[in-house]
Structure 1
Amino acid sequence: MTVSSDTISAIAVLMRRAAKEEILPRFRHLQTGEVSSKSEPSDLVTVADTGAERVIKAGIAELLPEALFIGEEGVAADPDLLPKLKDADLAVVVDPIDGTFNFANGISAFGVMLAIVKNGETIAGLIYDPMGDDFMVAEKGSGSWLKRSDGSSQKMTVAEPVPLDQMIGAASVSFTSSEKRGQLLANTAKVRFAASYRCAAVEYRAFASGGLSFFTYMKLMPWDHLAGVLIGQEAGGYIARYDGSPYRPENLDGGLLGATDKESWRELREKVFTI
């Protein structure tokens, strides 16, 4: 089945509605009992996460009724959903709030992420910024675009390559052993600046728009990365797992490294992210 650009536009409207109805009214207004932990104390879920996912799931059932729906909170409730992604003819993968830790703590760095996967390949990715009220959108083979609420759009392009000591990037290394984490953090002294914004949605958008030279992640849940990887690639970036293989929807580990070009990727892999 072909997923049309009109359907993707309708999905964008749906994501925006979920944010307006379920996310923004609760930002800095969460009540006692509306935030809880999942796997560890900083892995949070709020009523805004579950509410937004519920709205998006209902909308996708109307727009793409044949699609398998994979939401972060749905998988938390039913882990058997996730393995079905690999063999699905068509799937929609959603992170209702990427950056929940930031959202729950009143930090305005969070986003809504959605990817459309067809026969194991990401064919469309959307990242909505509720605070800025705009989207970054990519359809495979059509480039990455910033879509503003006033109807205007702008093509996204990654930054020009720079020497290693001038690179600015995002490095999420929390899902490694303490020994490896220390090594990786020490190695980031070789670049100009590396930080973690605790929000892949923010970091992927910054990379695709030329604000970051690189990014890296260790834990590869599909709702965190499918949309952003396609957006980064369509903006001209070079992205691969640490062993050099392409990132696929079924990949849950193996590390992920993105850079402005292949040569920068190789230098970062050899000199900074050496695990």
Structure 2
Amino acid sequence: MNVDRLAAILKQAAQEEIMPRFRRLDDGTVKTKSGAFDLVTEADVGAERVITAAIKAHRPDYLVIGEEAVAANPKLLETGLEDRVVIYVDPVDGTANFAGGLPLFAVMAAVVENGETVAGVIYDPLGDDVVMAERGCGAFQVFPDGRMTRQKFADPVPLSEMGGVASTSFLPFEQRRAVLGNLAKVKMLAGYRCAGHEYRYAAGGNVHFLMYNKLMPWDHVGGALIMRECGAHVAKFDGSEYRPADTSGGLLVASNKDSWDELRRDVFTV
């Protein structure tokens, strides 16, 4: 699917289903899934429905796997990726922020063809712009007026000068305690409860690392491609390549291989 068409579909869903509900959610329209910070709203469900229908109208042969569809039928994650095109969709990434009225949420999609990620799109409904990448073509931020800015990950710096994002909440307690202590070795740590905005922030060269432990494809498949196209080194904790079918093993992104090795050795000793 053309990446511009996919971005337009995400924008349409945001305009129809997400933004009209922002800071206007009624009682009973926010539900808890696995915990206090894992929520679903009418906006998530409605946006996923619109995105799925629009993709299917254009390409009925594509398989669309959305976060909310998997919540209803977890076996969708067992779908084989070979010899087909799969589009992963996160209709509202950062639902807890959205439900709390915080303007840090995004709409994300990733295109996987024959098991390989070929495109990633992250749309910001508040800024009405998109960060996107196609494999081998670089990553770009595209503004409403059509301007395009090529994205580049931050240049390497010493560990003590690094700033980054680390999502530690899914680490086992002892490992989380060790990692949080080790993070005192870097200069700045942030976390926005929205992988979409964290990937966008990194794409603009604003941080030196990203770390995630829980890997769901709608959260990270597109973002990981964008990071690679920005020039970052992207790998699972064991150094192996992160692939769309992976749902465990952690993910670490850094400016280059040397920075990745240093972070893995001295900070993220999980």
**Into which bin does the TM-score normalised by the smaller protein fall?**
over 0.9
**Secondary structure of 1:38's aligned partner:** strand
- What is the aligned partner in structure 2 of residue 106 from structure 1? 101
The alignment status of 1:245 with 2:240, answered yes or no, reads yes
The alignment status of 1:195 with 2:185, answered yes or no, reads no
Deviations 1:160-184 (A, max 9, x none): 1111001000000111111111111
1:199-238 alignment, distance < 5 Å: 199-238=194-233
Kindly indicate whether the alpha-carbon contact (under 8 Å) linking 1:102 and 1:198 is maintained by their aligned counterparts in 2. Answer: yes
- What is the aligned partner in structure 2 of residue 50 from structure 1? 45
1:173 aligned to which of 165, 168, 171: 168
Partner Cα separation in structure 1 for residue 205 and residue 3 of structure 2: 24
- What is the aligned partner in structure 2 of residue 34 from structure 1? 29
- What is the aligned partner in structure 2 of residue 127 from structure 1? 122
Cα distance, 1:11 vs structure 2: 1.4
Cα distance, 1:122 vs structure 2: 0.4
| Letter of the structure 1 residue corresponding to residue 99 of structure 2 | A
- What is the aligned partner in structure 2 of residue 77 from structure 1? 72
Unmatched tracts of structure 1, length 5 or more: none
Superposition RMSD on alpha carbons, in Å? Answer: 0.9
Cα distance, 1:88 vs structure 2: 5.4
Shift >6 Å, 4+ stretches: none
TM-score of the two chains, using structure 2 as the length reference: 0.98
Unmatched tracts of structure 2, length 5 or more: none
TM-score of the two chains, using structure 1 as the length reference: 0.97
Instruction: Pick closer, same or farther for the CA change 1:69–1:93 going to 2, 3 Å.
Output: same
Partner Cα separation in structure 1 for residue 168 and residue 137 of structure 2: 32
Cα distance, 1:125 vs structure 2: 0.3
Kindly indicate whether the alpha-carbon contact (under 8 Å) linking 1:127 and 1:137 is maintained by their aligned counterparts in 2. Answer: yes
Partner Cα separation in structure 2 for residue 193 and residue 32 of structure 1: 37
Kindly indicate whether the alpha-carbon contact (under 8 Å) linking 1:164 and 1:190 is maintained by their aligned counterparts in 2. Answer: yes
Partner Cα separation in structure 2 for residue 88 and residue 195 of structure 1: 39
Partner Cα separation in structure 1 for residue 195 and residue 59 of structure 2: 26
1:163 aligned to which of 158, 167, 181: 158
**Secondary structure of 2:231's aligned partner:** coil
2:254 aligned to which of 243, 259, 264: 259
| Letter of the structure 2 residue corresponding to residue 215 of structure 1 | L
| Letter of the structure 2 residue corresponding to residue 26 of structure 1 | R
Cα distance, 1:87 vs structure 2: 3.5
Cα distance, 1:63 vs structure 2: 1.9
1:15 aligned to which of 6, 10, 13: 10
Deviations 1:225-270 (A, max 9, x none): 0110000100100000000001011111111000011110000000
